[in-house]
Amino acid sequence: MAEKKFVVASFDDEAVLFPAVKQVRRAGYKIHDVYTPMPVHGLDAALGLRDTSLHTAGFFYGLAGTCTALGFITWALTYDWPLNFGGKPFFALPAWIPITFEMTVLFSAVGMVLTFCYLCQLAPFVKKDHFHPRATDDLFVMAIECTDKTNEGEVSDFLNGLGAKEVNTQIKETGWWIGSYADDKKPFQKQVQAVS
């Protein structure tokens, strides 16, 4: 667990945020993240983030569901305990389609949601540091990571010039810890770490 120093700028309009992101990246500053109250289409591309592979994971979870259901039913009804239902074949594939389909959907959905929670570190009692309480309300909050060489005043002026409503410097934890939002206690010591 390490804390880092950030210059944090808040914007109140996407139309200002987009050019600002472009300028900041062009100037060579490292954007830690941008926190938005709603999904802003195109912002991931503007930040240079690669597309998520969550869909692909979902496909394989679904495939696992198909195989599990078909494999298990085949084993149970043709090998383990074949039962004669009205003289129909033991391997009654058409009758297994509904359950196979449902299991495909179930595996895919549950798998994807768990993967999503894992990747985004989302779980009950997970607590994280936030840069601005209004980042979930109406502000678009950009955090720029400071290094040894960063001149904070310079960055602040630069961000102000790009139309930021509010610029400040904050020391924040980048990881997560177990806690509720009801108190500010952290289970570890503060230790500012400069990043090179």
Partner 1 sequence: MALLKYESQVRPPLVEGNKDYHQVTEDICRPVEAAPSRLWWIGFLISVALLLFGVISVTREVWFGTGQWNLNKTVGWGWDITNFVWWVGIGHAGTLISAILLLFRQGWRTGVNRAAEAMTIFAVMCAGQFPIWHMGRVWNAFFTLPYPNTRGPLWVNFNSPLLWDVFAISTYFTVSLLFWYSGLIPDLATLRDRAKLKWRKMFYGVMAFGWTGSTKHWQRHEALSLVLAGLATPLVLSVHTIVSFDFATSVIPGWHTTIFPPYFVAGAIFSGFAMVQTLLLVTRKVLNLEDYITIEHIEVMNKVIVLTGSIVGIAYLTELFIAWYSYVDYEWFAFRYNRVDLSSPYGWSYYLMMGCNVLSPQIFWFRKMRRNIWVTFFMSILVNIGMWFERFVIIVTSLYRDYLPSSWSAYYTPTIWEVGFYLGTFGLFFTCYFLFSKFFPVIAIAEIKHILKKSGENYKEKMDVVEAEPVERFAHEHVH
149 to 168, contacts with partner 1 by CB under 8 A?
Answer: none
How far is Cα 110 from Cα 83, in angstroms, rounded to an integer?
Answer: 32
CB nearer to partner 1: give 83 or 192.
83
The torsion angles phi and psi of 11, rounded to 5 degrees, stand at -115, 155
How far is Cα 90 from Cα 81, in angstroms, rounded to an integer?
Answer: 10
Q: What is the dihedral of CA 42, 29, 171, 38, to 10 degrees?
A: -10
Amino acid in the structure at residue 195:
V
| 2 binds partner 1, rule: CB under 8 A | no
Instruction: Spell out where 12-86 has E strands.
Output: 31-35
H or E, element range at 22: helix 14-26
Per rule CB under 8 A, count of chain residues that contact partner 1: 72
H or E, element range at 5: strand 3-11
Region 113-152 residues binding partner 1, contact defined as CB under 8 A: 113, 116-117, 119-128, 130, 133-138, 141
| 36 binds partner 1, rule: CB under 8 A | yes
CB nearer to partner 1: give 137 or 148.
137
Among 33, 145, 152, 173, binds partner 1 (CB under 8 A): 33
Choices 1-9, 42-50, 149-157, 159-167; region in contact with partner 1 by CB under 8 A:
42-50
Among 1, 23, 44, 64, binds partner 1 (CB under 8 A): 44
CB nearer to partner 1: give 46 or 195.
46
